[in-house]
Every structure is written in structure tokens, then in C-alpha cells.
Structure 1
Amino acid sequence: MARVAIVTDSTAMLPSDLGDAAELITSVPLQVIVDETAYDDGVEETSPEALLAALAAHKTVTTSRPSPALLAETYAKLAAQGFEEIVSIHLSAELSATCESSMLAAREAPVPVLTVDTRQAGPGVGFAVMAAAAVAGHGGDAAEARAAALERVGATSSYFYVDTLEYLRRGGRIGAAAALLGTALAVKPLLTIEEGRVVPHARVRTAERAIARLQALGVEAGEGAESVEVVVAHLGSPDRAAAMAEGLSAQLADRISGDVRVGELGSVLGAHAGPGCVAVSVGPAL
């Protein structure tokens, strides 16, 4: 029975308590570049508070993938620890070159590495990671862990609200035409992830209506399964996120496994979503 390690990246929004899975999961940071100075995602300089301050000061904030060298080093360390196979699970290749870095690094790895493109971002990536870790923790091999990750993320729905499409446009994560249309019509956009890409889902006239519609979409996504896990993410909008979590908890009370988890977006995702973002991810419970 091979020992299988799970590698992911800092956009995954994993639960704070990983339990037994903590021994199997390694996360590598993407980078946040603020006025040409690069920092690892997750350090003090890239906290949500620091990101909000940088954006408010109109600093240039961009992001970058982890290098193939960093991932190669990570894979080598895991092999030295006795892991015999690795499943490397990352955000959508349509949104980041992280999967490409993983595949390049896998060529040098001393043990087999399976790269998984979740075609998701944020909590959806975390859902895939936890599914793979559950299989690996029960003695499954890398192929079985990869299959579990893809099955769970394939049944995951993610929707999000942004105050403006400008940050997504700047980072090239949504087309300029879609961003211009949202601005010209003065609407509040609701977005989703389809086939790994950020695409418009609906346009609503006010922020209040958009948040209400976002909650309704979360409920609709949860009603199709017997038991679901729900995560609400935000950037600089704790009140909106708390209200969203409360509403989803009440409306999906008979289906939610555990509590609705609420978390603030890391700086890599936050730099593209912008202040005021609220997101809902709904996936099958483990």
C-alpha cells in the first residue's frame, strides 16, 4: 500500500482544522506582487487587511504562480519523508499557470506525481483536496485519490458577487467586453465558474438584490444533494458574509453537514475579486 501525499496551493481555503489529513496535505504559496515587490500569499504583507490597504492606496497588485522549482523541491521533500506517490491539486488552469508548474516539476520528481486541474478556485479547490486526503488516509492509491477529488469538485457549484468587474478585468480573468458591459449598465454582477473560467451568471440592479440572489443560488445548489458542505468567502465584507451564512444555514438546515464555514479570501483571489466580494461554494459532504 503506497503512502500518498496531497499537495495544493494557497488559494484552496482549506479548513483551519484538518484533523488527521494534516499529515498528508502540503500547501505551496502563490505570490502577490505589490508595486513590483513580491510576497508569498499568506504572510503578514499579504493579509486581507494589507491587501485592502494596498488597493485603497491604488497600488498595483498582481499575482504569480508558484515556480516549478518550488514545487519540485516540495515533491522531493515529500519523497524523502517516505511518500511514494503524490497528488497535486490546484486551481483552474484557465485562471493560473499553477497546474503547468506542477506538471513541469513532476518531470523531475523522484516519485510519481498526478496533477489535478480542479477547474475551480477557492473553496472548490479545498473540497477536492479534502476528498483526496480522505481516500489517501484510508489507504487508497494516487489514482483513487485523484478520482475522488475530481468527482467531488465536479459536483461543486461556486457563485460570487463583486462590487465591480474592474479587478477581474485588470488581471485578465474576465473579458474586457463583459467588464465594460457591466460598467455601462451600472449593474451588480453575479459570476460563476464554468469549465474553469469566470463567466457572468446574472446582472442585478442593486447590491442588495445581488446578495439575495447569491443566497438563492446557494440554496438551489444545495437542494440537489442529500448532504452538502457550504463555504462563504468574502473580502472586506464580514457582515455580508455572516448574514449569507446565517441565511444558508436556515434554508439548508436539513442538508448541511456541520456549520457553514465563513472565511476571508486570501490575497491572490482577493486581488482579482476586489473589496466587497462575497462567494458561495456548495459541494457534496464527505
Structure 2
Amino acid sequence: MASRVVVVTDSTAVLPAELAAAAGIEVVALPVVIAGETHCDGEPGTAPADIVAALMGKKDVSTSRPSPASLLELYSRLADDGASAVLAVHVTGEMSGTVESARLAARTSPIPVVTVDTRAVGPCLGLAALAGVHALAAGASADAAAEAVMARANATTSYFYVDTLEFLRRGGRVGAASALLGSALAVKPLLAIDDGRVVVKEKVRTSTRALARLEELALEAAGEGAAEVVVAHLAAPERAEALADSLSTRLGEQLAVPVRVAELGAALGAHVGPGMVAAVVAPALA
């Protein structure tokens, strides 16, 4: 009987349900705690509008990692369904304990589990998980597919703009951007994910300039090769669509697939706040 390795990722990957299903990716919903009540990302009450209302209403919003027991239950179900192994592709361990839960669950899993700390978050994570699926479809082993996951994660660039650093500060995800907190009212930072941490890429004075610069940085990241681009946002559809349209026009035939626009779920939205826009650029899958 042929082996079947299943890719598992988490809801910070910002993968549309239909895309994940078509690729055969299992998505673990991260817990989100709103005003003391725990929900799973994607459940009723965790829609983007819900998380924005909670944040703007100054309710306590936090996120948590899935329990090792819940992941073990998933691995066992996959084994019962005929999977021979799992490739667990998760959000950076600098921001979440999800990959640690996966490692703990792997110890007693009925099938082998190869865990990958991608040092990534958001669409970069989703694109990396898709690289794992692509490698497996080409006949790679789980270990080789894990290498393909990391190769794409490392080759992907993630830039994002936030209206305020307040929500990153509340969630303890500000990292190297913390030096900006004192001048947050006077600066509009362009941020990046570098080795699993939020860092400052550039500082500009207005949101208009920040979004224009975000576009230029995305174009620079694309270089001259075939690329895949995701524009993500929270409660900023006009900004996101405008950026996606412009990148689509300027990149043209470089795009391996149309630019995808995605709104963040609660697990990520809780940490960036409304108005956030991201441009994520990856090399196209060969």
C-alpha cells in the first residue's frame, strides 16, 4: 500500500478553506480567548468583524496554543483514515507554542510526525505548507518535504503595515519593534518578519506613504523571477484590493497565479488590529 503523508498546519497560515481542502491540508484552529471565553479560530464569534469589535471595545483578547492532546487526537484520526505519516508545518515558535505542542503529541502518535518550526507566520506559513504538499506530490519523503517547506519559508518575504503598534504591544508580539512605542503617534512603521520575529523595516510619516512603500518593497522582493503574492488585511478591504490590483498590473506575467487577497482570522487579527495590510511574496513553485 502506498504511503500517504498528510500536511497539517494551523490557522495562522491564512489559507482559505477551499484551498486547504483542495491541497489536502489539515488546518488546526488555534484557541482565541475573548473576554474570558475561549473559542476556536473560525468558529462563530471569531469572524474578522467580531475580533475588530472586541479590540476596539477594549475587551481582553488573547490567543493560545492547541493542546498536545488535541493534536494527538488529530494524528490518531489521520492514522485511522490511512495516513502513514504527518508533516506538521507550524507558526514560528517565537510567537506561539503550537510547534512545541506538535512535538509533544508526536511522541505518542501512532504514525510518525515530522514537525517544522517555519519561523514564519501568516500567508508565508500557508505558502510554505503548500510547498510541502507540492514536494510530497512529486514523490518526496516527509523529511525531504520538510526541507522544501523551510526552503520556501526562508525565500518568502513578509512586509506589513499597521495603523498602530498598540495591539502588537498588548499581545507581547512587538519584539524588535518595541523601540518605536514611545514615538508611535509620530511614525507609521513598515514591519517585517525576520527569523520568526517582528522587526522594523522602515519608518514613514503617513499611512499613504507607508502603503505606497509597501508596494515598492513587494516589487523589490519579487525580483525578476516567477512569483506568488498574497495580500492580507484586517478590516481594510479597500486598501488590500488596491494593493493587489496594482501589484497584479505591475508584476504581470511574473505572477505564477493571480494575487490572492485574504482577510486575517482571529488568531492573527488579535495581534495586529484593524487597518493592517501585508504583502507576502514567495518564489513560484517549480
TM-score (norm 1): 0.95
Q: Give the Cα–Cα distance (whole angstroms) in 2 for the partners of residues 160 and 177 of structure 1.
A: 16
Q: What is the match of residue 219 of structure 2?
A: 219
Q: What is the match of residue 247 of structure 1?
A: 246
**Between Structure 1 and Structure 2, how many residues are aligned?**
283
Verify the 8 A CA contact 1:166 1:179 in the aligned structure 2.
no
Verify the 8 A CA contact 1:231 1:280 in the aligned structure 2.
yes
Opposite residue 204 of structure 1, the aligned amino acid is: V
Report Cα offsets for 1:211-248 as digits up to 9, x if no partner.
00111110000115x21100000001000001100111
Q: What is the match of residue 5 of structure 1?
A: 6
The correspondence of residues 141-156 of structure 1 with structure 2, limited to 5 A, is 141-156=141-156
Q: Give the Cα–Cα distance (whole angstroms) in 2 for the partners of residues 17 and 59 of structure 1.
A: 31
Does residue 284 of the first structure (1) align with residue 250 of the second (2)? no
Q: What is the match of residue 231 of structure 2?
A: 232
* Cα 1:20/1:162, change in 2 over 3 Å: closer
Q: What is the match of residue 107 of structure 1?
A: 107
Verify the 8 A CA contact 2:88 2:113 in the aligned structure 1.
yes
Q: Once superposed, which parts of structure 1, at least 4 consecutive aligned residues long, lie more than 6 Å away?
A: none
Worse overlay, 143-152 or 205-214: 143-152
Q: What is the match of residue 179 of structure 2?
A: 178
Q: Give the Cα–Cα distance (whole angstroms) in 1 for the partners of residues 51 and 21 of structure 2.
A: 32
Worse overlay, 270-279 or 51-60: 51-60
Verify the 8 A CA contact 1:165 1:182 in the aligned structure 2.
no
Verify the 8 A CA contact 1:2 1:141 in the aligned structure 2.
no
Verify the 8 A CA contact 1:2 1:139 in the aligned structure 2.
no
Opposite residue 127 of structure 2, the aligned amino acid is: F
Following TM superposition, by how much is the alpha carbon of 1:178 offset from its aligned partner in structure 2, in angstroms? 2.1
Report Cα offsets for 1:242-268 as digits up to 9, x if no partner.
110011111111311121100101111
* Cα 1:227/1:95, change in 2 over 3 Å: same
Task: Give the aligned CA root-mean-square deviation in angstroms.
Answer: 1.5
* Cα 1:233/1:153, change in 2 over 3 Å: same
Q: Give the Cα–Cα distance (whole angstroms) in 1 for the partners of residues 178 and 187 of structure 2.
A: 14
Opposite residue 284 of structure 1, the aligned amino acid is: P
Q: Give the Cα–Cα distance (whole angstroms) in 2 for the partners of residues 60 and 18 of structure 1.
A: 32
Q: What is the match of residue 270 of structure 2?
A: 271
* Cα 1:152/1:88, change in 2 over 3 Å: same
Unaligned runs of 5+ in 1: none
Opposite residue 11 of structure 1, the aligned amino acid is: T
Report Cα offsets for 1:173-206 as digits up to 9, x if no partner.
114842423426x100110011110111111000
Following TM superposition, by how much is the alpha carbon of 1:19 offset from its aligned partner in structure 2, in angstroms? 7.8
SS at match of 1:46: coil
SS at match of 1:154: helix
TM-score (norm 2): 0.95
Verify the 8 A CA contact 1:223 1:252 in the aligned structure 2.
no
Does residue 262 of the first structure (1) align with residue 261 of the second (2)? yes
Report Cα offsets for 1:59-90 as digits up to 9, x if no partner.
11111111111111111111111111110001
Worse overlay, 9-18 or 82-91: 9-18
Q: Give the Cα–Cα distance (whole angstroms) in 2 for the partners of residues 212 and 26 of structure 1.
A: 36
Unaligned runs of 5+ in 2: none
Following TM superposition, by how much is the alpha carbon of 1:285 offset from its aligned partner in structure 2, in angstroms? 1.2
Verify the 8 A CA contact 1:71 1:105 in the aligned structure 2.
yes
